[in-house]
């Protein structure tokens, strides 16, 4: 099983992430071969496995850590993440994911919907087999609700020029940060830490997730599709106004407005003009600074974690910093 090369520097974690991916692969068994092929090709398309990595690292802080259980719960979260990506690409009408054609563009929307559905089911099957109580299942269901609510908040605000930065933050807190937060909570809690400790881990995850999505939105304004393996220049045209644009609007409302009023009728050249303006009005830089602020908050809390798992603590610090500097 091949996992993302970013983990080479962390051999023990890489071993468990490999086991996580193997378990995800093994949990797929469908009569419908087309849907099975779709699910398999997504599982093996080289995702970064960040959420399971956090989950596995936080599980090191519990005294009752059981590696098999930690790996299974990490696989469950990544199955959930994978499902959301397949469905997200349908909603966003995206052609590229992880540098490859999306499931919807390879197999069509129906197969893609079922592939995502199957992954949701697989997530709950693993969870119910391995959780020590109903707690993780309850939390997972609540997280799914929050992810959906973030996505719906984003949809409700499409082409909304009055959208505020607080609304943006609320949406990304649901659609992205929630899953990071859940990974960190479940990792700790299911290996026997107190609920109080796990909640602190969950806050760390929330900060990491917010920084992660802001950086993702910054990359949309700074990278090529080849570099990030996903489409760029699509958010604005689809009416998704992310942080760099919202900051730029604070400075350059009058200049940007005539373009944004065109809605989905923007030409490529006009879209590129918007991107240039977002840079020149300082939107990219300001967004980067906010991502840094959330990362610093996470790092500060990680540094205060007990020294019972020194290696995990060190790796949490390095990985969290590396996410801020990522370019893909």
DSSP one-letter string for 152-171: HHHHHTTT-TT--HHHHHHH
| CA-closest candidate to residue 74, choices 193, 191, 221 | 191
User: Using CB under 6 A, which residues numbered 20 to 49 contact ligand IPE?
Assistant: 47-48
Of residues 136, 173, 176, 200, which one binds ligand IPE by CB under 6 A? 176
Does residue 88 touch Mg ion according to CB under 5 A? yes
Residue 34 near residue 115, CB atoms below 8 Å: no
Q: Between the CA atoms of 321, 322, 323 and 326, what dihedral angle is there, to the nearest 10 degrees?
A: 140
DSSP 8-state class, residue 306? -
Q: Are 45 and 97 in contact (CB under 8 A)?
A: yes
Give the residue at shortest CB distance from Mg ion: 92
The separation between the first and the last C-alpha atoms of the chain, rounded to the nearest angstrom, is 22
Interface residue with ligand IPE among 25, 36, 88, 251 (CB under 6 A) is 88
| Distance (Å, whole) CA 285 – CA 278 | 10
Rounding to the nearest 10 degrees, give the CA dihedral for residues 128, 132, 133, 136: -70
Instruction: Indicate which single residue of 36, 92, 95, 292 sits in contact with ligand IPE (rule: CB under 6 A).
Output: 92
* Binding status of residue 112 toward ligand IPE by CB under 6 A: no
Q: Which is nearer to ligand IPE, 171 or 191 (CB)?
A: 171
Give me the phi and psi of 96, to 5 degrees please.
-130, 135
Among 25, 34, 66, 92, binds Mg ion (CB under 5 A): 92
Cβ atoms within 10 Å, residue 2: 8
- Choose from ligand IPE, Mg ion, none: what does 198 bind? Cβ within 5-8 Å by kind: none
Number of residues that bind Mg ion (CB under 5 A): 2
216 is a contact residue toward Mg ion (CB under 5 A): no
Which range in 86-94, 157-165, 254-262, 276-284 contacts ligand IPE by CB under 6 A?
86-94
Our measurement of the distance from residue 33's CA atom to the centroid of its chain's CA atoms, rounded to an integer in Å, reads 28
Sign for the CA dihedral angle at 54, 60, 66, 67 comes to positive
Spatial contact of 294 and 210, defined as CB atoms under 8 Å apart: yes
Query: Least distance (Å) from Mg ion to the CB of residue 186?
Result: 24
Q: Is 86 in the site for ligand IPE (CB under 6 A)?
A: no
Minimum distance from residue 281 beta carbon to Mg ion (Å): 24
> Could you say whether residue 201 binds ligand IPE (CB under 6 A)?
no
**251: contact with Mg ion by CB under 5 A:** no
One residue of 42, 50, 112, 278 binding ligand IPE per CB under 6 A: 50
Residue 50 interacting entry, from ligand IPE, Mg ion, none, C-beta within 5 to 8 Å by type: ligand IPE
DSSP 177: I
Is 234 near Mg ion (CB under 5 A)?
Answer: no
Task: Give the interface with Mg ion as residue ranges (CB under 5 A).
Answer: 88, 92
Task: Give the interface with ligand IPE as residue ranges (CB under 6 A).
Answer: 47-48, 50, 84-85, 88, 92, 94, 98, 147, 151, 175-176, 213, 216, 230
């Amino acid at each position: 099983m091949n996992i993302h090369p970013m983990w080479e520097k962390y051999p023990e974690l890489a071993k468990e992430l490999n086991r996580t991916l193997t378990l995800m692969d093994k949990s797929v068994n469908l009569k419908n071969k087309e849907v099975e092929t779709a699910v398999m090709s997504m599982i093996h398309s080289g995702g970064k496995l960040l959420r399971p990595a956090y989950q596995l690292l936080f599980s090191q802080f519990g005294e009752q850590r059981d590696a098999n259980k930690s790996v299974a719960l990490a696989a469950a979260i990544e199955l959930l993440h994978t499902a959301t990506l397949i469905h997200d690409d349908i909603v966003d009408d995206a052609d590229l994911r992880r540098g490859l054609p999306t499931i919807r563009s390879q197999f069509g929307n129906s197969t893609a919907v079922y592939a995502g559905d199957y992954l949701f089911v697989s997530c709950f099957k693993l969870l119910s087999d391995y959780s020590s109580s109903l707690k993780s299942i309850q939390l997972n269901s609540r997280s799914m609700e929050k992810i959906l609510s973030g996505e719906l908040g984003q949809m409700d605000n499409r082409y909304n020029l009055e959208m505020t930065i607080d609304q943006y933050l609320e949406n990304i807190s649901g659609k992205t940060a929630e899953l990071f937060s859940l990974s960190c909570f479940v990792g700790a809690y299911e290996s026997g830490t107190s609920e109080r400790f796990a909640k602190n881990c969950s806050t760390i995850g929330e900060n990491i997730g917010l920084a992660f999505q802001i950086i993702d939105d910054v990359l949309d304004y700074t990278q090529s599709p080849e570099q990030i393996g996903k489409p760029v220049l699509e958010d604005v045209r689809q009416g998704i106004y992310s942080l760099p644009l919202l900051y730029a609007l604070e400075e350059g409302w009058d200049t940007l407005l005539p373009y944004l009023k065109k809605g989905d009728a923007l030409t490529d050249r006009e879209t590129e003009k918007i991107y240039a303006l977002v840079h020149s009005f300082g939107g990219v830089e300001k967004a980067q600074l906010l991502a840094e602020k959330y990362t610093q908050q996470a790092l500060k809390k990680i540094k205060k974690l007990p020294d019972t798992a020194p290696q995990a603590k060190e790796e949490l610090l390095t990985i969290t910093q590396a996410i801020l500097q990522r370019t893909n």
